[in-house]
Copies of this chain bind each other. A is one copy, B any other.
């Protein structure tokens, strides 16, 4: 299966990824605000900085191709704002889990799609998004909380299962072939399937790592 067949147009791809990273940054900034102590704030600020650097790197790629970042991102704002609202969570821990799971899955996904981009932009995007996400701090706080409270573990496991559904919908929306016209067959489905299997496997490893049942 050739991911290149599934690759969207370059500028829309960059616009969606850039707006997603801006949202990750906003979520992490919110996590900083809600953090219960200075040590957590401090660690989260590094993660927020990474998300912002990814956003800015993608915006630089948009500009390099003569795109106006706000225009290129705009078509993706409604769906991604809605996604953020649904996955923001009711408290600090739910928000941390969202940042970790949705950020991990969609970074993986955008890296995977970037394989099919023309010229040298694919490797540059993969390098940018593949940099350590600074999420160790999320894992540390989540593990500490879950280890100390089994009921929180099952609550967050449920939240993680809900998140992955919404997150996969965002991924799916980035692949034009995945949205066939009404009544048409979906020729891309069988080629998309293995990509999603990989994404879900990585998601399950993240859940396992936290001691949560995926």
Q: Which residues of A contact B (CB under 8 A)?
A: 19, 22, 25-26, 29-30, 32-33, 37-39, 41-42, 45-46, 48-49, 52-53, 55-56, 59, 69-70, 73-74, 77
Given the known interface contacts A49-B49, A52-B52, the answer about A42 and B26 at a Cβ–Cβ threshold of 8 Å is no
Question: Closest residue to A73 on the B side, CB-wise?
Answer: B38
Q: A22 to B41, Cβ gap below 8 A?
A: yes
10 smallest beta-carbon distances between A and B, as pairs: A29-B29, A38-B70, A39-B70, A49-B52, A42-B70, A42-B69, A38-B74, A38-B73, A26-B33, A45-B52
Copies in the complex: 2
Residues of B near A22 (CB, < 8 A) are: 32, 41-42, 45
The smallest beta-carbon distance between A78 and chain B, in angstroms, is 11
Q: B56 to A45, Cβ gap below 8 A?
A: yes
Q: B45 to A49, Cβ gap below 8 A?
A: no
Interface of A is mostly: helix
Given the known interface contacts A38-B77, A77-B38, the answer about A45 and B70 at a Cβ–Cβ threshold of 8 Å is no
Q: A70 to B37, Cβ gap below 8 A?
A: yes
Q: A32 to B42, Cβ gap below 8 A?
A: no
Residues of B near A32 (CB, < 8 A) are: 22, 26, 29
Sample 20 A-B pairs with CB under 8 A, ordered by A number: A22-B32, A22-B41, A22-B42, A25-B48, A26-B29, A29-B32, A29-B33, A29-B48, A38-B70, A38-B73, A38-B74, A39-B70, A41-B70, A42-B59, A42-B69, A45-B56, A46-B56, A49-B52, A49-B56, A52-B52
A41 to B55, CA, bound (A): 12
A74 to B42, CA, bound (A): 11
